Amino acid sequence: MVRKSSAITGADALRSRAIGRVSGGEGIYPEGSQAQGLFAVLDGAVHFEKLDRAGHRVLLHVAPPGFWFGEIATGGGATTMVTARCYTRVVVWRVPVFVVSRILSSEPELFSALSQLMAARFSALIETVCAMRRPTALAQIAGRLSLMDEKCKDCDSAVTRSVFQMSQNDLADMTGHARQTVNAAVNKLEDEGLIQVGHRQIEILDSKGLDAYFTGEKS
């Protein structure tokens, strides 16, 4: 169940919502495009990608159901910073830019809620960078999975186990490690009962156990 942000719970937003179904592999919006509004993932998984300075695609995040996105471009009046692409068949809820603007004009106190949403996104980015500074690949991968689990549960308090639609190749792309390195780390974490790996998905079973590898308590 999607937990709606307080910034977009007005009657206008509810009446103006747009439900869209997008096939796997299709783009929701490309990097550098005009803001299209706020989006919520209702079903499926959305991958966020960015081209690095060498022109290589970098996977930044995998968004499960309950995840909101598009707030930085919409709230900041900027172009999109990443490409949002459907990994699976996805159902998204969109609140168009003009609706967001109308709500904020009539209820300016909601600027604070939108600002908090943007601040939370930057905070998650900083935490991700810090996670990748751990001394071993195992600690980095465990930390990244634990952080994703934490943010997933922040999106929806009803979630008890996070399931991310991503392959081990995706995890290698996300962490910058070789596929063989990721495979070894994933096998160890699965053997420990901390995660469960399926076809193009990773389920988090024990976030505290992942944190133990991240902090160096276990190695």
User: In this predicted model, what pLDDT tens digit does every residue of 181-204 receive, in sequence order?
Assistant: 999 999 999 999 999 999 999 999
In a domain, 43, yes or no: yes
Both 122 and 193 in a single domain?
A: no
The mean pLDDT of the chain is: 83
Both 102 and 48 in a single domain?
A: yes
Both 67 and 102 in a single domain?
A: yes
Both 153 and 115 in a single domain?
A: no
In a domain, 198, yes or no: yes
Q: Is the pLDDT of residue 55 over 60?
A: yes
pTM over 0.75: yes
> Sorting pLDDT into bands at 50, 70 and 90, what band is 12?
very low
Say what the pLDDT of residue 17 is: 53
Both 113 and 160 in a single domain?
A: no
Cα maximum dimension of the chain: 54
Decide which of 208 and 120 is more confident.
Answer: 208
Q: Is the pLDDT of residue 142 over 90?
A: yes
- For residue 187, the tally of other CB atoms under 10 A from its CB is 12
Answer yes or no: are the C-beta atoms of 33 and 84 closer than 8 Å. Answer: no
Query: Where among 72, 91, 126 does a domain terminate?
Result: 126
Both 153 and 49 in a single domain?
A: no
Both 15 and 91 in a single domain?
A: yes
- Host domain of residue 78: 6-126
HSE at residue 202, side-chain half, CA atoms within 13 A, is: 29
Decide which of 3 and 40 is more confident.
Answer: 40
In a domain, 183, yes or no: yes
Smallest Cα–Cα separation from 197: which of 159, 176, 160, 170? Answer: 170
Partners of 137 in the β-ladder: none
Say what the pLDDT of residue 121 is: 76
Say what the pLDDT of residue 21 is: 63
Domain count, the chain: 2
In a domain, 131, yes or no: no
**Mean pLDDT, to the nearest integer, of 31-40?**
91
